[in-house]
Amino acid sequence: MELVVATSIGGLTAAGIYLILRLRAFPVILGVTLLSYATNVFVFASGRLAVGLPPVLTDDATAYTDPLPQALVLTAIVISFGMTAVLVLIALGAFLENGNDRVNVEDERAGEGDA
């Protein structure tokens, strides 16, 4: 089970970094989203991958699942959804203004004032 989780975290991280290095706005947004998913899975896995264990240690329980990583991941999911929505709106505004979605667009008017 740990190998599957570690492989999925590595795959999400690699895909996220690859997409962030692209020169288009939409792949950069997807890359940031994939990196946040990888971080969420990593934090969730740090709280022990156990099925059927209680979240609080009682007298008759021999083991428990840590509820703190689950709460942190739930909060991070909400924050990353809001961040993704803001980034999509910024990218949409840049696309409507420039006519393309390239991240590092050169300003064509930069050299006109020199002549």
**What is the tens place of the pLDDT at every residue in 84-106?**
999 999 889 988 988 888 877 56
Q: Identify whether the C-beta of residue 38 lies closer than 8 Å to the C-beta of residue 12.
A: yes
The CATH number of the structural domain formed by 2-49+65-103 is 1.10.287.3510
Name the pTM for this structure.
Answer: 0.76
Tell me the C-alpha distance between 72 and 56, whole Å.
16
- Dump pLDDT digits (tens) for 14-67: 999 999 998 888 999 999 999 999 999 999 888 777 777 777 777 777 777 778
- Dump pLDDT digits (tens) for 68-79: 888 899 999 999
| Cβ neighbours, 10 Å, residue 25 | 20
Looking at residue 102, the DSSP 8-state letter turns out to be: B
Residue-range domain boundaries for the chain: 2-49+65-103
